[in-house]
C-alpha cells in the first residue's frame, strides 16, 4: 500500500521539477536576449506616452506644473523622464570630457560586467560642474558650467553645500522664472515632499557600457528615499538601456495586484503603473530619474557589428543626509538580487499576457 502511494508522489515531484526547469530555461532565454530595434522603439514610445512633459490641459482650472507631473510619476511608477536636461552643446562637451577620462590610464577606472565606471571625487572641480547639471535655464544663463573663474568655482562649492538645506519657497521669484521644469527643481521638490530637509549628492560618476557587456544584477540604490539620474550622452536604444520594474519602490507593492490589473483593467495607464518592466530608452541629453528604492539593472549589450556603439552616461545620486546608500548589508543585497529576478520573471509573464491580450483585440 505504501509503495503505491510513493509512486504517484515521485511522479508529481519529477513533473514539478521538470516544469520548474523548463520555466527557468525560458526565463534565462528571455533574460539574456538581445533587444531588437522594434522592442527598443516601442519602449521609447511608451516613455513618451506615460511620462508627459507638459500638462495635458492648458485651461486655467488645471494648475498642474511639469514638476508636479514628474513627482506624480515618481510616486506612482518610481521613475520619470526629464527631457533636454543637457543642451546639444553640453552633450558634445561632456562626451569629450568622458572620453578623455576613460582614455587617461592614470584614472582609477573600475570595470564591472563590461561597463567602465569612473567615480568623481567631491574635491575636484569636475564634481562641482556635475553638481550643477540640470539647473533651470535661468541659472544656466547666469552661471555657465564651462570656463568658470576661480571666484565662480568657489561660489559653486558653497552653493553645493547650501543646497543640502531645503530653501524657503519663494513664489514671487518662481513666478518670474520660465515654466520649463529642470532636474534640480524636481530633486528639491522630491525631498521636500518626503519631508527631508537635508540631502546631498552622494555619488557622481561617468559610466560607459560597451558591446559585449552583460546584464547587471537586480539591485536597489538605497533602501530609503533617494533619487538617481542617468543622463544620456548618446541615444540609448538597444545598446544597454537601464531596465526598471515600475512600482517596486512602494512598500505595499503586490504581484497579485499587478496580475489583477493586467487581467481586469482596460485602461493602459492603470495596467502600466504596477510592475511593468520598463526600458530607459531615451535620447541624448535626456535624463531618466528614478527612486533609489526601485528594482533596476543595466541591460547587457552583446552585439558587436560595425553599427554598434558604446553607451556613455552621467550618473548622479542624491540621498538624505542621515540615510546614505546603500542602506543594506551583504545579506539583504543578495536577497534583493534574487527578489529582483523573481519579480522580473513574474512581471515579464504578466507583460506577455498583456501583449497577447492587446493583439487579440
Provide the b/e sequence for 31-70 (b: ≥16 CB within 10 Å). Answer: eeeebeeeebeebbebbeebbeeeeeeeeeeeeebbbebb
Confidence of residue 289 (pLDDT cuts 50, 70, 90): very high
The answer to whether residue 319 scores a pLDDT higher than 60 is yes
User: Can you tell me the distance from the alpha carbon of 264 to that of 155, in angstroms, rounded to the nearest whole number?
Assistant: 55
Query: How many Cβ atoms sit within 10 Å of the Cβ of residue 103?
Result: 9
The predicted-structure confidence for 136-149, as pLDDT tens digits, reads as follows 755 555 544 444 43
- Tell whether the torsion through CA atoms of 57, 281, 299 and 327 is positive or negative: negative
Phi-psi region of 147 (alpha: psi -120 to 50; beta: other; left: phi over 0): left
Q: What's the mean pLDDT in 216-225?
A: 94
Query: How many Cβ atoms sit within 10 Å of the Cβ of residue 358?
Result: 10
The answer to whether residue 285 scores a pLDDT higher than 80 is yes
CA-derived radius of gyration, the chain: 22
Closest CA to 294 of 278, 272, 313: 278
According to DSSP, the residues that pair with 224 across neighbouring strands are none
User: Can you tell me the distance from the alpha carbon of 189 to that of 316, in angstroms, rounded to the nearest whole number?
Assistant: 16
In this predicted structure, what is the pLDDT of residue 216? 93
Q: Which three cell numbers stand for residue 42?
A: 516601442
Query: How many Cβ atoms sit within 10 Å of the Cβ of residue 247?
Result: 25
Which residue is associated with the grid cell 550618473?
315
User: Can you tell me the distance from the alpha carbon of 183 to that of 306, in angstroms, rounded to the nearest whole number?
Assistant: 35
The predicted-structure confidence for 332-355, as pLDDT tens digits, reads as follows 999 999 999 999 988 888 877 777
Q: Which three cell numbers stand for residue 39?
A: 522592442
The predicted-structure confidence for 88-127, as pLDDT tens digits, reads as follows 999 999 999 999 999 988 888 999 988 999 999 999 999 9
**Pairing state of beta strands 296-298 and 242-245?**
antiparallel
Higher pLDDT, 251 or 180: 251
In this predicted structure, what is the pLDDT of residue 35? 84
Which residue is associated with the grid cell 513574474?
346
Amino acid at each position: 500500500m505504501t509503495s503505491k502511494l510513493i509512486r504517484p508522489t515521485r511522479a508529481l515531484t519529477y513533473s514539478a521539477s521538470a516544469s520548474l526547469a523548463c520555466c527557468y530555461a525560458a526565463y534565462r532565454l528571455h533574460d539574456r536576449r538581445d533587444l531588437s530595434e522594434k522592442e527598443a522603439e516601442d519602449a521609447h514610445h511608451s516613455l513618451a506616452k506615460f511620462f508627459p512633459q507638459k500638462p495635458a490641459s492648458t485651461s486655467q482650472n488645471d494648475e498642474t506644473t511639469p514638476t508636479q507631473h514628474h513627482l506624480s510619476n515618481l510616486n506612482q511608477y518610481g521613475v520619470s523622464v526629464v527631457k533636454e536636461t543637457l543642451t546639444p552643446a553640453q552633450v558634445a562637451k561632456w562626451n569629450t570630457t568622458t572620453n578623455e577620462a576613460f582614455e587617461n590610464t592614470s584614472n582609477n577606472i573600475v570595470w564591472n560586467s563590461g561597463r567602465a565606471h569612473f567615480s568623481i571625487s567631491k574635491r575636484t572641480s569636475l564634481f562641482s560642474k556635475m553638481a550643477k547639471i540640470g539647473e533651470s535655464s535661468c541659472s544656466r544663463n547666469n552661471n555657465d558650467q564651462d570656463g568658470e573663474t576661480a571666484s565662480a568655482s568657489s561660489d559653486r562649492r558653497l552653493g553645493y553645500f547650501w543646497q543640502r538645506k531645503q530653501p524657503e519657497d519663494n513664489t514671487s521669484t518662481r513666478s518670474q522664472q520660465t515654466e520649463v521644469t529642470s532636474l534640480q527643481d524636481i530633486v528639491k521638490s522630491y525631498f521636500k515632499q518626503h519631508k527631508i530637509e537635508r540631502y546631498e549628492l552622494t555619488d557622481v560618476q561617468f559610466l560607459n557600457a560597451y558591446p559585449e557587456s552583460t546584464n547587471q544584477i537586480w539591485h536597489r540604490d538605497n533602501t530609503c528615499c533617494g533619487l538617481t539620474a542617468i543622463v544620456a550622452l548618446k541615444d540609448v536604444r538597444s545598446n544597454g538601456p537601464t531596465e526598471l520594474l515600475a512600482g517596486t519602490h512602494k512598500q505595499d507593492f503586490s504581484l497579485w495586484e499587478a496580475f489583477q490589473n493586467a487581467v481586469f483593467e482596460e485602461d493602459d495607464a492603470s495596467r502600466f503603473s504596477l510592475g511593468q518592466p520598463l526600458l530607459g530608452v531615451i535620447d541624448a541629453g535626456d535624463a531618466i530619474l528614478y527612486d533609489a528604492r526601485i528594482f533596476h539593472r543595466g541591460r547587457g549589450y552583446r552585439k558587436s557589428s560595425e553599427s554598434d556603439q558604446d553607451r556613455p552616461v552621467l550618473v548622479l545620486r542624491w540621498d538624505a543626509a542621515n540615510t546614505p546608500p546603500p542602506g543594506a548589508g551583504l545579506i539583504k543585497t543578495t536577497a534583493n538580487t534574487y527578489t529582483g529576478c523573481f519579480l522580473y520573471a513574474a512581471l515579464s509573464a504578466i507583460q506577455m499576457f498583456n501583449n497577447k491580450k492587446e493583439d487579440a483585440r
